[in-house]
Amino acid sequence: MDTSGHGYFNSYEFRHILYMLASQKNGIPGFRISNATFNAIVMRYSDKDGQVRFNDFVSCYIKLRTLFDTFKTKDPAGHGRARFEFNEFAVLTMYS
């Protein structure tokens, strides 16, 4: 939620909206990421001032959703580990 009304998310708002969306009925079940992973996501999708614009947020959410859904298919027991061949990994990370 853009609580400031400036048309972008700061990192606090960005984290909050990701977790809020994940908890929705059609969200990302089991969405948990470390602070280091979150910081990498913010660095990738924010501008130099740490602001995430709406279109970048949508791109990020779609990519995260795809990554989590794909990972789940490779980890049916839910242990947090999956095995990928290199080409599968490359396609997933390059084109999702």
75 Cβ partners below 8 Å, 6+ apart? 81, 82
Residue 4 in this model has a pLDDT that exceeds 70 = no
Q: What one-character DSSP code corresponds to residue 84?
A: -
Burial tier of 24 (Cβ tally within 10 Å: 0-12, 13-18, 19+): exposed
Total-model pTM: 0.75
Q: How confident is the model at residue 47 (pLDDT cuts 50, 70, 90)?
A: very high
- Residue 96 has what pLDDT? 60
Residue 29 in this model has a pLDDT that exceeds 80 = no
Q: Which two tokens stand for residue 24?
A: 């929705």
**What is the C-alpha to C-alpha distance for residues 6 and 72, in angstroms, rounded to an integer?**
36
What average pLDDT does range 46-67 have in this prediction? 90
